[in-house]
Amino acid sequence: MMRMIRKTGAVLRLIAMFNKELLMSSVTVLREVLRPRLNIRPGIIKLDTELRSDFEITLLSILICLTPGTLTLDVSGDGKTLYIHAMDINDPDELAAQIKGSFERAIMEVTR
């Protein structure tokens, strides 16, 4: 019973966090699109994920795709690395750490 309550809380937290990310990154992308001169630095970054099962990795890549500004390009054959196309990269490591810190952790709380 306690476990079920904890899981429900984790799912709700994941949904809330996704909505927050969705709003924030939407505003960023809209601003970039409306700027008179394009000032973006797109690129492809590597994300080493700690998630293992197919379900977890699928969930992570769907959430990354749904968030504007980032797009999952491919998953390596062993499922350990995600290649993400990002619209504006300031610091590649920081971006990867941000995705790991938010989505990956929240997904782990749901599935484990």
Partner 1 sequence: MSLEMMEQIIEVVFAILILLGAVIAVISVLGLIRLPDVYLRSHAATKSATLGVLLILLGAFFYTWFVHDFFSIKLLLGILFVFITSPVAGHLNARAAYRSGVALWKGSVRDDFREAIKQERQLEIEEIKNRN
Contact residues toward partner 1 (CB under 8 A) are 22-23, 26, 29-30, 33-34, 38, 40-46, 61-69, 71-74, 76-77, 81, 83, 85, 87, 89, 92
Cα dist. 43→36, 57, 84, 91, 106 in Å?
Answer: 21, 21, 8, 11, 25
Q: How crowded is residue 4: how many other Cβ atoms within 10 Å of its Cβ?
A: 8
CB of 33 to partner 1, least distance (A): 4
Rank residues 10 and 58 by Cβ distance to partner 1 and give the closer one.
Answer: 58
Show the tokens assigned to 36. Answer: 């008179």
CB 85 within 8 A of CB 65: no
Residues 84, 67, 54: CA angle, nearest 5 degrees: 60
CB of 56 to partner 1, least distance (A): 15
CB of 100 to partner 1, least distance (A): 15
Rank residues 2 and 33 by Cβ distance to partner 1 and give the closer one.
Answer: 33
Rank residues 33 and 97 by Cβ distance to partner 1 and give the closer one.
Answer: 33
